[in-house]
Amino acid sequence: MFSTREYLEKKTGPYGVGRLSYLQSLVTEFQDSSQSDHEIKEQLLANLANFAYDPINYEFFKKLNIVDLFLDCLEEENERLVEFAIGGLCNCCLDKELKEHIIGNSGIDLVIKCLSKPQENTVMSAITTLMYLVTPASKQDITALPVVECMLRYAQCHNKQIANLAQVYLKDYCTPAQIEQAKAIQQELAETFTEDLT
């Protein structure tokens, strides 16, 4: 459910902790937590990602650089942090300013790297985020040949959600020529692999 400012003010009351203050406390606690506090950091990042669902929070996200925090966490070794970070980006990247910020800060490359992560939720969020980030300027990077080839593989995935997302990506964002070129690369790789086995 999306919130209104009036609803938040009524819910918080005159002496309650406001949304901006609460988000600030989550960010501060995340940054102050040691690397060994895996569970705490995961919980804090998951909470921030949940706030990304509601557009009323986007101004706070901009003030607190929460999108930058999500982008930084995409490079973490902790797969749960990566999962929550890409989920947070997926939740908020349709906002025009946040989308431009993600694209302008190497976000596309970071999201593409998430396609090879072991967590299925991470992969689903990465595919969805890439589709949301498509603009006339970013489409070439998002539909680069290695990404299209990856989506062809995911379109055959046993996980139907991943397969369906990959099929939507291929249908809505790729040209038939791009798909054929990616299939040709797959064929070459398969032939090379077969030759290596014999």
64 and 38 share a domain?
yes
Q: How many domains does the chain have?
A: 2
131 and 186 share a domain?
no
132 and 154 share a domain?
no
- The 3-state DSSP class for residue 156 equals coil
Average pLDDT, the chain: 92
49's CB contacts (< 8 A; 6+ apart) are: 70, 84, 85, 87, 88, 91
pLDDT tens, residue by residue, 160-169: 999 999 999 9
36 and 129 share a domain?
yes
pTM of the model: 0.89
167's CB contacts (< 8 A; 6+ apart) are: 155
Q: Which domain holds residue 155?
A: 143-198
10 and 78 share a domain?
yes
pLDDT tens, residue by residue, 96-126: 999 999 999 999 999 999 999 999 999 999 9
* pLDDT beyond 50 at 134: yes
Residue 57: both structure tokens together = 């929070």
Q: 83, 113, 136: which is the final residue of a domain?
A: 136
pLDDT tens, residue by residue, 78-87: 999 999 999 9
pLDDT for the residue 13? 47
pLDDT for the residue 130? 99
Of residues 194 and 36, the one with the higher pLDDT is 36
pLDDT for the residue 28? 97
From residue 159, give the alpha-carbon distance in Å to each of 36, 119, 120, 156.
Answer: 33, 12, 8, 9
* pLDDT beyond 80 at 149: yes
193 and 121 share a domain?
no
86 and 102 share a domain?
yes
Residue 16: both structure tokens together = 């309650």
Of residues 119 and 11, the one with the higher pLDDT is 119
pLDDT for the residue 83? 99
pLDDT for the residue 65? 98
pLDDT for the residue 34? 85
For residues 123 and 83, is the Cβ–Cβ distance under 8 A?
Answer: no
Q: Say how far apart CA 131 and CA 88 lie, in whole Å.
A: 15
Q: Say how far apart CA 17 and CA 124 lie, in whole Å.
A: 34
In this prediction, residues 131-142 reach a mean pLDDT of 98
33 and 83 share a domain?
yes
* pLDDT beyond 70 at 7: no
For residues 64 and 101, is the Cβ–Cβ distance under 8 A?
Answer: no
Task: Determine what percent of the chain falls in helix, strand and coil, rounding each to the nearest 5.
Answer: 75, 0, 25
* pLDDT beyond 80 at 197: no
